[in-house]
Amino acid sequence: MDTAPVWIKLWHVPLELYSQQGLGYNASALGNPLYTDKATAFRHHLEFVKVCVDISAKTILPPVVLVDLGNGNIVDVSVELVLSPLVVAIVLSLAMIWKIVGN
């Protein structure tokens, strides 16, 4: 598998980009934007947006992406990978197995 869909939180997204097109523009800096969560779509919170992005398995997510607003202004948008409890449990289990097998 070359790509995988992951949920990402984007912090400090300018309000002028708080639309499907604007959020897609932000998320495209990381991969292929797929969709937003319901709270983002209905603007239930404005401090961050949550988007699902299809990214390359080789991608290392940057902590910040620079977004050009097209008016000469460039803003920093912080990037946070959202890990589900299931993913965390799997990673911890694999780490434990790796530690046991590695010793």
Distance between CA atoms of 18 and 50, rounded to whole angstroms?
11
Contact 51, 61 (CB under 8 A): no
Which residues span the domain enclosing 32? 3-102
Average pLDDT, the chain: 84
Residue 18: what pLDDT?
A: 85
E strand map for the chain:
3-11, 32-36, 48-56, 64-68, 74-81
Model pLDDT for residues 45-91, shown as the tens digit of each residue = 888 999 999 988 788 889 999 988 888 889 999 999 887 656 656 66
- Look at the chain and report how many structural domains it folds into: 1
